[in-house]
Amino acid sequence: MLEIHDLHVKLEDEDKQILKGVTLRVPAGEVHAIMGPNGSGKSTTSYVLAGRDGYVVTQGTATLNGQDLLAMEPEARAAAGLFLAFQYPVEIPGVGNMTFLRTAVNAQRKARGEAELSAGEFLKLVREKAKALDIDAEMLKRPVNVGFSGGEKKRNEILQMAMLEPTMCILDETDSGLDVDAMRLVADGVNALRSPERAFLVITHYQRLLDHIRPDVVHIMAEGRIVKSGGPELALEVEQNGYADILAEVADA
């Protein structure tokens, strides 16, 4: 599924290296979590994979099912099955949520050479998916993310994910700013999508999301590298002791 090898990334505008050799492999069917202190490069990893401007890859590779992600436009990556749930979902005034979703779904279908969904088919699908995420018709009519609460924005991201049915889902701090109930809704949404053909990369600060979305592998990221990988117990260790012990241990090694 997703293979990142020795990825080095610097900012375009200043000579600052953010990623310093990230290597990561997420096979189909698995859920991997990335944890790490602020500024360790977690969000940068997700942005670079999705194709955001402002970063320069100086070394390394990233492939999705063998396709060279870094050579593709953001929309091509999306059509190839990559999805990034944004940490800060963007507001688009005047554009109905439903219109946005439908445009996105059909753009991807078109890029893959599939027939576009009719209005009826789309409506049926979106209603069904929205219901599971406790998103009502009103929220579908409102402009994309405008005036949405933190929880609504994140649920909306998961709705997009459910509609687009990507194979590789990256969740960038989807739990930040969520109360317990909202987090459960989001986690249920993610769990419902788990399948042998789909992989997840969950970026988070906190163990608590991982109580709901149980990862197969936990990676600890620090200063632009994955410094340690392990099972779900690694997340618990972070929760109890913070990053200091792990980082010290890595430094000693």
Partner 1 sequence: MAALDMPELEVREGVDRETIETVASMGSYKYGWDTEIEMDYAPKGVSEDIVRLISQRNEEPEWMTEWRLAAFRRWQTMAEPRWAMLNYPEIDYQDQYYYARPKSMAVKPKSLDEVDPKLLATYEKLGIPLREQAILAGIEGAVGTPAEGRRVAVDAVFDSVSVGTTFQAELARAGVIFCSISEAIRNHPELVRKYLGSVVPQSDNYFATLNSAVFSDGSFVYIPPGVRCPMELSTYFRINAENTGQFERTLIIADKGSYVSYLEGCTAPKRDVAQLHAAVVEIVVLEDAEVKYSTVQNWYPGDEQGRGGIYNFVTKRADCREARAKVMWTQVETGSAITWKYPSCILRGDESQGEFYSIAITNNAQQADTGTKMIHLGKNTRSRIVSKGISAGRAQNTYRGLVTMHPRATNSRNYTQCDSLLIGDKCGAHTVPYIEVKNTSSRVEHEATTSKVDEDQLFYCRARGMDEEEAVALVVNGFCRDVLQALPMEFAMEAQSLVAISLEGSVG
Q: Which residues, 68 to 97, sit near partner 1 by CB under 8 A?
A: 73-75, 77-79, 83-84, 86, 89-97
CB of 161 to partner 1, least distance (A): 10
- How far apart are CB 21 and partner 1 at their closest, in Å? 25
Contact present, 77 and 51 (Cβ < 8 Å):
yes
Residue selected from 43, 160, 174, 207 as contacting partner 1 according to rule CB under 8 A? 160
Give the shortest CB-49-to-partner 1 separation in angstroms: 10
**Nearer to partner 1 by C-beta: 100 or 206?**
100
By the rule CB under 8 A, 102 interacts with partner 1: yes
Whether the CB-CB separation of 71 and 36 falls below 8 Å is answered with: no
CA dist., res. 99 & res. 117, Å (int): 13
Reduced to 3 states, what is the DSSP secondary structure of residue 217?
Answer: strand
The residues with which 43 forms a beta bridge, in sequence order, are none
Q: Is residue 87 within 8 Å of 176, Cβ to Cβ?
A: yes
Nearer to partner 1, 14 or 53 (CB): 53
For residues 124 to 153, the per-residue mask of contacts with partner 1, x marking binding by CB under 8 A and - elsewhere, is -----------------xxx----------
Q: How far is CA 24 from the centre of its chain?
A: 15
Q: Closest separation between CB of residue 202 and partner 1, Å?
A: 17
Could you tell me the smallest distance in angstroms from the CB atom of residue 207 to partner 1?
Answer: 28
Task: Please tell me the distance from the alpha carbon of residue 61 to that of residue 245, in angstroms, as a whole number.
Answer: 30
Residue type present at position 180? V
How many residues sit in the footprint of partner 1 (CB under 8 A)? 39
DSSP string, 74-109: HHHHHHTTEEEE-SSPPPEEEEEHHHHHHHHHHHHH
Q: Of 18 and 78, which has the nearer Cβ to partner 1?
A: 78
CB nearer partner 1, residue 83 or residue 148 = 83
Window contacting partner 1 (CB under 8 A); options: 18-26, 67-75, 219-227, 239-247: 67-75
Token reading at 109 = 């279908």
Q: What is the nearest approach in angstroms of partner 1 to the Cβ of residue 82?
A: 8
Is the CB of 106 or the CB of 176 nearer to partner 1?
106
DSSP characters over 163-193: HH--SEEEEESTTTT--HHHHHHHHHHHHHH
Question: Which residues partner with 33 through β-bridges?
Answer: 202, 218
Percent helix, strand and coil across the chain, each to the nearest 5: 40, 30, 30
Q: Tell the smallest beta-carbon distance from residue 150 to partner 1 (Å).
A: 17
Q: Rounded to 5 degrees, what are φ and ψ at 139?
A: -70, -30
Nearer to partner 1, 142 or 208 (CB): 142
Give the residues lining the site for partner 1 (CB under 8 A).
Answer: 50-53, 73-75, 77-79, 83-84, 86, 89-100, 102-108, 111, 119, 141-143, 160, 164
